[in-house]
Amino acid sequence: MRCAIHIGVGRPIQRSVAAVCWSMDLDQLLRHAGSVAATSTLRRAGFTDRDIRVAVSEGRILRLRHGVLALPGAAPDLVAAVLANGLLTCASAAPHRRLWLLHPHQQLHLLCRHAGPPHAVVHRGSLVPSTLLLPVASTTDVLVHGLRCLPTVESAVLVESALRQGVTTLGYLRERLPGSRNGQARRALDLVDGSADSAIEVVARILFRANGIFTQTQVDLAGIGIVDFLLEGFLIVELDGATHLERKQVIKDRGRNNASTLCGYPVLRYGYADVVYHPEKVLSEVWQVLRGRTVH
């Protein structure tokens, strides 16, 4: 019987042993930990130095350096976190916490109590210890670090997905972001309402409202169904993800467009690239319809 340990963060980085045990071998525990772990982590889980030496000699696990072991093919970001004696946080932790990111981030974001590796963004301080065996910060720390670090719209996207998961609340986050130094973070929270089904919906909602357009989200219209946005009470805006390219969805979207027209609602449709990279074009076309002017 081996004891699995959870990795916690305090002062700001400290690993603690949980009182939960599983019957699993060394390889299984490493897989559960993201395929990489410190030797001390394995020892606290009940494995001996002999267990580790045998696994290394058999080629089942790799010794990356003194004190760090991994399975072949371990994810580079998790390996980097353990090698730095830190935890992934902010944008680097988002995929592991199933949080939305507007853009992929190549730069590593780490929660460390010391200087991190070159070119990494190092975050200090932890509010809630992680309960994962993975070297990933708690959801609270990931969100707080993201709100302090990322551009406003990107951090709003991150928080919106956490609200959709039900793993935090706006009130909870505001309480943990006091004082003037957290003013920008709290302003990002003002842009979040939990109504979006995707990252680009958050971006579009912020875009429309920032430009003074009365914006309703996820509106159920008789004879049409639920639409992504209803602007000024009459213009439908739909955002198309990858699934909208599938034949079944194309047929469905065509029917909804026809139904919208028959019910007197004009429709504009946009994809990720439109909203994220060409917002001025989206706004121009939206305003043309809202003002009753279309280009012929």
170 or 18, which is more confident: 170
Asked whether residue 97 falls in the same domain as residue 169, the answer is yes
In a domain, 190, yes or no: no
Asked whether residue 155 falls in the same domain as residue 226, the answer is no
Residue where one domain finishes, among candidates 116, 143, 175: 175
Asked whether residue 59 falls in the same domain as residue 143, the answer is yes
Asked whether residue 34 falls in the same domain as residue 151, the answer is yes
In a domain, 49, yes or no: yes
- Residue with tokens 């809630």, as numbered in its chain: 128
Asked whether residue 117 falls in the same domain as residue 218, the answer is no
Residue 15 has pLDDT above 90, yes or no: no
In a domain, 162, yes or no: yes
Indicate the burial class of 141 (C-beta count within 10 angstroms; 0-12, 13-18, 19 or more): buried
Whether the Cβ atoms of residue 81 and residue 110 lie closer than 8 Å to each other: yes
Asked whether residue 128 falls in the same domain as residue 253, the answer is no
The model's pLDDT over 209-232, given as tens digits with 9 standing for 90+, comes to 999 999 999 999 999 999 999 999
In a domain, 185, yes or no: no
Which uninterrupted H or E stretch holds 3? strand 2-3
pLDDT-based confidence at residue 7 (cuts at 50, 70, 90): very low
Measured CA to CA, the distance from residue 189 to residue 208 in angstroms comes to 17
Asked whether residue 158 falls in the same domain as residue 222, the answer is no
Average pLDDT, the chain: 88
Indicate the burial class of 198 (C-beta count within 10 angstroms; 0-12, 13-18, 19 or more): middle
In a domain, 19, yes or no: yes
The model's pLDDT over 179-197, given as tens digits with 9 standing for 90+, comes to 999 999 999 999 999 999 9
The model's pLDDT over 163-179, given as tens digits with 9 standing for 90+, comes to 999 999 999 999 999 99
The residues, ordered by sequence, that sit 6+ positions from 30 with a Cβ below 8 Å of its Cβ are: 36, 37, 42, 61, 69, 70, 71
Residue 18 has pLDDT above 70, yes or no: no
Question: Smallest Cα–Cα separation from 150: which of 101, 114, 195?
Answer: 101
Helices 139-149 and 152-165: crossing angle in degrees, nearest 10, is 160
In a domain, 43, yes or no: yes
pLDDT score at 72:
94
CA-to-CA separations, 234 to 3, 204, 230, 264, in angstroms, rounded: 60, 17, 6, 8
Give alpha helix (H) positions in 34-73: 39-44, 49-57
Contacts 24+ apart (CB under 8 A), 223-230: 223/259, 223/262, 223/263, 224/256, 224/259, 224/260, 224/263, 224/265, 225/256, 227/256, 227/260, 228/197, 228/201, 228/204, 229/201, 229/204, 229/205
- Residue with tokens 């929270």, as numbered in its chain: 189
Number of structural domains found in the chain: 2
The model's pLDDT over 63-102, given as tens digits with 9 standing for 90+, comes to 999 999 999 999 999 999 999 999 999 999 999 999 999 9
CATH (domain of 250): 3.40.960.10
Asked whether residue 83 falls in the same domain as residue 34, the answer is yes
117 or 100, which is more confident: 100
By residue range, what is the domain housing residue 154? 2-175
In a domain, 188, yes or no: no
In a domain, 259, yes or no: yes
The residues, ordered by sequence, that sit 6+ positions from 152 with a Cβ below 8 Å of its Cβ are: 184, 187, 188, 191
Asked whether residue 15 falls in the same domain as residue 74, the answer is yes
Structure-token pair, residue 257: 């467009």
Report, as an integer, the average pLDDT of 142-149: 98
Asked whether residue 9 falls in the same domain as residue 147, the answer is yes
Asked whether residue 8 falls in the same domain as residue 52, the answer is yes
- Which pTM was predicted? 0.85
Measured CA to CA, the distance from residue 46 to residue 52 in angstroms comes to 11
Q: What is the DSSP string of 5-27?
A: ------SS------S-EE---HH
Report, as an integer, the average pLDDT of 112-129: 91
Asked whether residue 206 falls in the same domain as residue 155, the answer is no
pLDDT score at 251:
63
3-state secondary structure of 296: coil
Structure-token pair, residue 86: 């830190």
Among 53-62, 169-178, 286-295, the range scoring the smallest mean pLDDT is 286-295
Structure-token pair, residue 181: 């130094």
